[in-house]
Amino acid sequence: MKRLLASALCAASLLCAQTRLAPRPAAAQRPKLVVMIVVDQFRYDYLTRFRAEFTGGLKRLLDRGAVFTNAHYEHAPTVTAVGHSIVLSGAMPANSGIIGNEWLDRATGKQVTSVSDDSVDLLGVEGKKGASPHRLLVSTVGDELKMSGRAPAKVVGVSIKDRSAILPAGRMADGAYWFDKPSGRFVSSTWYFKQFPEWAAKFNDRKVVEKFKDGGSFDKTAEGKAGNDIVELFAEAAVEGENLGANGGTDVLAMSFSANDTVGHAKGPDSPEVHEITLHTDKVLARFFDFVDKRVGLSNTLFVLTADHGVAPMPEVMQSRRMPGGRMTEGAVLDAISRALNDRYGEAKWIAGKSAYAPYLDHKLIADSKLDLEEVQHTAAQAVRAVPHIARVFTREELRRGLAQSDMVGRRVQNGFFYQRASDLVIVAEPYWLFEKIGTSHGTPWNYDSHVPIVFMGARVKPGRYHGSAAVVDIAPTLSMLLDVEVPSGASGRVLTEMLAQ
């Protein structure tokens, strides 16, 4: 009867057109579990280059998922903490406050990481400082599920790296767990609970990851290929321990595979090692999908795959291709700044801290010297512009006033800018130029760092390949719509309506 009445009203109203396009998901249609999979440093082209060799989880995602072929991060710096802060918040650093892996905290004058927190203790091993999402200023999809007042939702994050476990899960998570290499144990912090959960302690005590030790320690293994096996094993334990997928509502598991990043940094995207670990990731994901299928059922689970950033090719490989690129030193940039400021304003230690290679000037020194901050920034910027292979330099005051060029690079830098935590200069090197002496890296606004996979797989998702522009900030609003909860507070993306089954 209700339906009849609705369609009668529909006939006369524009509103119903929207109702038909985006039907409100009934409780029965909502997934019981959302699995957010982040592969650390995974270029989109790994999916196409190695596709023929996938037999496991990546093959399943490509065959049965909605694959976005032109999905990007729309911010810089494209680094781990920022990528992980975006996947389930949909918020740019400009709004989330997560501007890098680390930065200078102006209030204390200390370098901090995106998740370092002296007010909490580590749990799982004794006597270490903990970590928490206290610097994340926005909500995540998990937080919104918690705040929706619906059936209880559990939210858990798992990774080798602390930031990669903590940031996607959000502030209200039931737990985030990461790997403490010296002890070979998963740990968490008193942000989440006073006592380390029994299931997690049991996992540690069973020493199931011992077999992955390499040369008597986890120094190499935890971030080598076995790092992904370790995360997968612990994720299974988390699903069992927290009864994920069977708590009456929708639960969220965010898992991040860190090993790909370590291999990628050392060997580069064109290496046999990256090829190998990508195929290994395919197998690890197959195991996890099989586990979820038995435990929760694939039809009850919504999977999302993405990466936290891409990576640049090795400069040496690029040179052999007669493409641009090369190496410069971070020192060259910082020295140029120091020299220019010393020459102009007198000898002093002008640089107080860094976020990657973005410098923080000593504001107290500048104020004590009765100098104009904007002018000092300008002097420093001019010095960096004179360094070969620097594409652009932005000052903090220019970005505060929104003066970045409105093209792709300027837009991405502006989206990454959060005034209170920002460095005094943001420096963008020419494409394919790196500040690293060896290996390769990421962090730039260029497309090789921003282009990542987005794949959704599950009920109400129409499998296929979608070539229109998409952004990683679109994941959170799309999930919010599918789960029928509020959009996270800082989310700026759109709902990926093209992949929704009617």
Give whole-number Cα distances, 289 to 232, 279, 285, 332, in Å: 10, 15, 6, 48
Residues 6+ apart with CB under 8 A from 378: 395
CB of 311 to Zn ion, least distance (A): 9
Taking alpha carbons only, the member of 450, 483, 449, 454 closest to residue 467 is 454
**Residue 440 bears catalytic tag:** no
CB of 80 to Zn ion, least distance (A): 3
Count of chain residues binding Zn ion (CB under 5 A): 4
User: Given the complex with Zn ion, which of 307 and 390 has the nearer CB atom?
Assistant: 307
The type of residue at 429 is: A
Q: Which stretch binds Zn ion (CB under 5 A): 32-40, 268-276, 344-352, 404-412?
A: 32-40
CB of 167 to Zn ion, least distance (A): 11
- Please pick, from the candidates 282, 308, 424, 449, the single residue that binds Zn ion as defined by CB under 5 A: 308
Question: How far is it, in rounded angstroms, from Cα 156 to Cα 35?
Answer: 10
User: Given the complex with Zn ion, which of 410 and 445 has the nearer CB atom?
Assistant: 445
CB of 223 to Zn ion, least distance (A): 11
User: Given the complex with Zn ion, which of 261 and 424 has the nearer CB atom?
Assistant: 261
CB of 38 to Zn ion, least distance (A): 9
Which residues does residue 327 pair with via DSSP β-bridges, in sequence order?
434
Please give the residues from 194 up to 253 whose contact with Zn ion meets the rule CB under 5 A.
none
User: Given the complex with Zn ion, which of 243 and 271 has the nearer CB atom?
Assistant: 271
Query: Tokens 């990043």 — which residue?
Result: 261
What DSSP designation does 348 have?
S
Q: Coil, strand or helix: which one is 384? A: helix
CB of 163 to Zn ion, least distance (A): 9
Residue nearest to Zn ion (CB): 80
- Please pick, from the candidates 180, 261, 424, 449, the single residue that binds Zn ion as defined by CB under 5 A: 261
Residue 40 makes contact with Zn ion by CB under 5 A? yes
Which residues does residue 395 pair with via DSSP β-bridges, in sequence order?
425
User: Given the complex with Zn ion, which of 263 and 351 has the nearer CB atom?
Assistant: 263
The type of residue at 479 is: L
CB atoms within 10 A of CB 220: 15
CB of 177 to Zn ion, least distance (A): 18
User: Given the complex with Zn ion, which of 38 and 351 has the nearer CB atom?
Assistant: 38
Q: Which stretch binds Zn ion (CB under 5 A): 26-34, 126-134, 303-311, 393-401?
A: 303-311
- Please pick, from the candidates 34, 66, 80, 304, the single residue that binds Zn ion as defined by CB under 5 A: 80
Taking alpha carbons only, the member of 413, 427, 349, 343 closest to residue 385 is 427
Which residues does residue 175 pair with via DSSP β-bridges, in sequence order?
156
Q: Is the peptide bond before 182 cis (omega within 30 degrees of 0)?
A: no
Burial of 430 (0-12, 13-18, 19+ CB in 10 A): middle
What one-character-per-residue DSSP string does 115-175 give?
Answer: SEEEEEEEESSSS-EEE-STT--S--HHHHHHHTTSS---EEEEESSHHHHHHHH-TT-SE
Residue 260 makes contact with Zn ion by CB under 5 A? no
Q: Which of 19, 48, 55, 80 is catalytic?
A: 80
User: Given the complex with Zn ion, which of 261 and 282 has the nearer CB atom?
Assistant: 261
Query: Residues for the chain: how many in total?
Result: 502
Q: Which stretch binds Zn ion (CB under 5 A): 15-23, 122-130, 278-286, 305-313?
A: 305-313
Catalytic residue list: 80
**Binding positions for Zn ion, rule: CB under 5 A:** 40, 80, 261, 308
